[in-house]
């Protein structure tokens, strides 16, 4: 049962989050400006800022002389402390690991990537991820002793009902069995909290946090790449589903009699329009390409057979999205991944399919747009997961944590 002390702590946290949110969006602000932006009283503001200063979450700097204050020295500015902690986001894709690093002000200060060996096992993936983090920290002068948490994006279903994995820190992460060695290795190496989710869902969360979907609360995201994944936001919240499979657009069945899929079903969308499927369809038309990057380049060069394959696949994706749009009624459909970079060649067939097959009234109000954040979206989304999963103040600095 909640106590009066619990209620006061929750209220204080709400006030602290309001102050931190204002500072993230505006940079340094005086106490008077913070009072105006948050609507808090001067007394409450003084207490909140004093507590944040004491715990090192914010710092004070000398104000600009241009700031009107009458006579005397300029008002001191309160800013987020960029040295108070680091958050890491890792995206373990099918053939590459990507990293994003954010400081305590929630600014992304570094991104990097490294190839994974063909058919890499979890131990090799873990070592590649650790080497990448260490190399970027050394290159950029980042203090890993200030590391607060790691967000991890994984391919496939991330089921919240699996047994927790002890990976160090104050909480345990829940990961598919295939990734247990990776999670344990990261926990042993860095000893911090690990939060885990599907990497396509994390890309959706990144677009909602920093990208094209910031203005909306209801969104359908699809990442079209080597695989096909997705993520849905409803009322501003990421939809994971009862079994961690929310957003798995790539495993919608197009043909029950189609080829078997690694998920155990047959005729899935991913097998039809994913990277391998597109390469096979191009080869059947006499255009043999070594990899998805080469296919995208050929489409950009307007090779006729490749463009026809891509446009047909985009129409197939659009038909699946049309059903999704009818059920979820989003404000926005965001298309990410390498294929989204082909612009109208991909987006127009998707728009046409949604217009033809979804509810007429809703289709006129739903924009289909390319994603903003590019190849680093899932790694950035892993950081966004840490920000959404926990209060804005690091746990060891919160007043309610002993």
Asked if pLDDT for residue 8 goes beyond 50, the answer is: yes
pTM (2 d.p.): 0.75
- Residue range 208-240, pLDDT digits in tens: 988 999 889 999 999 999 899 999 999 888 888
Strands 367-370 and 86-92, sheet pairing: unpaired
CA distance 239 to 245: 9
Note whether 251 and 350 are within 8 A (CB): no
> What is the per-residue pLDDT for 402?
31
> What is the per-residue pLDDT for 83?
67
Ordered domains of the chain (ranges, CATH): 4-80 (1.10.10.10), 86-201+379-397 (3.30.420.40), 213-371 (3.30.420.40)
Nearest to 251 by CA among 324, 159, 326, 309: 324
> What is the per-residue pLDDT for 74?
66
Highest mean pLDDT among 1-10, 182-191, 288-297: 288-297
Between 103 and 111, residue with greater pLDDT: 111
Average of per-residue pLDDT across 149-167 = 66
> What is the per-residue pLDDT for 86?
87
Q: Which two tokens stand for residue 283?
A: 């080869």
Asked if pLDDT for residue 342 goes beyond 70, the answer is: yes
> What is the per-residue pLDDT for 176?
63
Strand partners, 89: 100, 151
Average of per-residue pLDDT across 113-124 = 83
Note whether 270 and 227 are within 8 A (CB): yes
Strand partners, 86: 103, 147
* Number of alpha carbons in the 13 Å side-chain half-sphere of residue 389: 21
Average of per-residue pLDDT across 375-396 = 72
**Three-class secondary structure of residue 162 per DSSP:** coil
Cβ-Cβ contacts under 8 Å for 65 (sequence gap 6 or more): 74
């Amino acid at each position: 049962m909640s106590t009066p002390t619990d209620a006061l702590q929750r209220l204080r946290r709400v006030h602290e989050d309001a102050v931190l949110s204002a500072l993230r969006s505006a940079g340094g602000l005086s106490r008077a400006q913070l009072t105006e932006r948050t609507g808090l009283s001067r007394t409450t503001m003084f207490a909140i800022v004093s507590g944040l200063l004491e715990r090192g979450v914010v710092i004070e700097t000398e104000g600009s002389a241009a700031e009107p204050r009458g006579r005397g020295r300029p008002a001191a500015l309160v800013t987020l402390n960029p040295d108070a902690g680091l958050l890491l986001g890792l995206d373990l894709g099918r053939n590459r690991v990507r990293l994003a690093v954010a400081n305590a002000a929630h600014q992304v200060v570094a991104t990097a990537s490294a190839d994974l060996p063909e058919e890499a096992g979890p131990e090799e993936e873990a070592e590649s991820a650790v080497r990448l983090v260490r190399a970027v920290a050394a290159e950029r002068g980042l203090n890993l002793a200030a590391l607060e948490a790691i967000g991890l994006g994984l391919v496939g279903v991330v089921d919240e009902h699996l047994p927790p994995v002890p990976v160090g820190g104050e909480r345990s992460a829940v990961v598919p069995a295939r990734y247990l060695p990776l999670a344990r290795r990261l926990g042993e190496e860095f000893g911090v909290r690990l939060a885990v989710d599907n990497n396509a869902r994390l890309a959706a969360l990144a677009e909602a946090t920093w990208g094209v979907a910031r203005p909306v609360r209801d969104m359908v995201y699809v990442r079209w790449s080597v695989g096909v994944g997705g993520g849905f936001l409803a009322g501003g919240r990421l939809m994971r589903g009862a079994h961690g499979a929310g957003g798995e657009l790539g495993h919608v069945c197009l043909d029950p009699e189609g080829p078997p899929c690694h998920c155990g079903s047959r005729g899935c969308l991913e097998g039809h329009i994913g990277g391998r499927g597109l390469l096979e369809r191009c080869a059947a038309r006499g255009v043999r390409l070594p990899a998805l990057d080469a296919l995208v380049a050929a489409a950009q060069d307007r090779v006729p057979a490749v463009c026809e394959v891509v446009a047909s696949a985009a129409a197939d994706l659009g038909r699946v999205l049309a059903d999704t749009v009818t059920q979820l009624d989003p404000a926005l459909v965001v298309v990410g991944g390498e294929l989204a970079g082909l612009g109208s060649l991909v987006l127009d067939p998707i728009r046409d399919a949604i217009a033809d097959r979804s509810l007429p009234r809703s289709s006129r109000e739903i924009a289909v747009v390319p994603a903003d954040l590019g190849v680093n979206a899932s790694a950035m989304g892993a950081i966004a997961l840490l920000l959404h999963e926990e209060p804005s103040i690091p746990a060891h600095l919160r007043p309610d944590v002993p």
